[in-house]
Amino acid sequence: MVNSAGISVEMPVQQMNRRFKHLKKLKKKLVCLMPTDKTAIKLAIASDPINMPSGKDPFQDDQELMEELRSMGAVVEIMDWKNTETDWNQFDAIFISSTWDIPSHGEAFIQWIRDCNSDRNRVINDGQLIIDNVIKSRYLSRLIKKFGVRVNSGMAITPSYFIGINESEEDQTNPIGNRSLKELFEELDAADPDNWQDRDIVMKPIVSADGNNTFLYKRMGRNTNEKQTDFILHSDEEAEKIFHHLLSSSPRGIILQPYIKAVEEGEYCLVFFNDKYSHAIQKRGGFKNHSIKERRFIPEVQLPKNMVSFATQIIHFMQECYHQHALIRTRIDFLYSNGQIVLCELECTEPNTNLQSLPADIKTAVLKSYASAIYREATRLKAAIND
């Protein structure tokens, strides 16, 4: 570069790069501030304070999804679902994405979903489906009635018993009455010995996530390879104490499940957009192991036989229970061992789709499919206003 005096002036490459990056960021901001077409889809991605872009642990998937949706012409913001100053009626659709503080605010979240849909449906996934998914006893009892709990049948739902201080027909919970935990186990052993007798027991709140307040009661006294010990209970007294603490602190009640050894071999997590299989990752084995670093992408051809088929059956059944557009993004978690596939979780509320665990080329394709599914449903919800 030569100035007016004929002297060569070279701009350092690093300085040029910094200016170029600054201009790119400025362009993005200007695009966001430009007047938008009133016909453009206005969409909120619901998160929590920690996972917001300004939070302690920003969720990268949300930010990448937002950029992809903006490239499709949508006006998108990532919002804290607990922000009481937000007018949620301004949005054509609200996508529930990373609201991972629900277990601490369960009843408030349920009411918020109802409020968002008070004048019309705008929540993705379906609002009632989300509520029934947060209250795990509702969806699990429905799946158990449909697919059964015979874990040696090849495909089944994890056996579950739902109990609360009071009975709730809506939540499918049974009242504890005057029974001790030992007496309750004796009843379960007698009613279904194949699934309960001589089994260690998992106890957790009905409204829960990521192993919070989840305990393993080793009532058979067997040793395990688990390194964690603070949530493993070895005595009847310990178990009884935790059981009643969970009952008194869990408004919707608690879930009892027999411990399934296959958890030590790891979970398979299958992601669907609408009713179409997208991708899967596998978590490392271990009770309450939720390390993101130890998750790996697994190609469909390497999944256990019939796993995608079973997952698809579950998706279609839930569509029948609600409606065709109820499930836009879903993750189904399975355990597998010796040819047996057992569902441990159907995540319809705020499932982590694990984009960052995918190879780069697959991640790019998945992100486009992901954004397209959300954009189509937001468009459908907006169009429904004029129907």
Residue 210: what pLDDT?
A: 77
Residue 386: what pLDDT?
A: 66
Beta-strand pair 340-347/329-337: antiparallel
Residue 65: what pLDDT?
A: 98
For residues 292 and 282, what is the distance between their CA atoms, to the nearest angstrom?
Answer: 10
Architecture of domain 15-125: 3-Layer(aba) Sandwich (3.40)
Residue 111: what pLDDT?
A: 98
All CATH 3.40.50 domain ranges in the chain, comma separated? 15-125
Residue 33: what pLDDT?
A: 43
Residue 338: what pLDDT?
A: 87
Q: What CATH number has the domain spanning 127-158+264-348?
A: 3.30.470.20
Sign of the CA dihedral 275, 280, 286, 290?
negative
Residue 35: what pLDDT?
A: 42
Residues of the chain below pLDDT 50: 1-2, 7-11, 13, 20, 24, 26-35
All CATH 3.30.470.20 domain ranges in the chain, comma separated? 127-158+264-348
Residue 290: what pLDDT?
A: 56
For residues 182 and 34, what is the distance between their CA atoms, to the nearest angstrom?
Answer: 65
Does residue 345 contact residue 174 with C-beta atoms inside 8 Å?
Answer: no
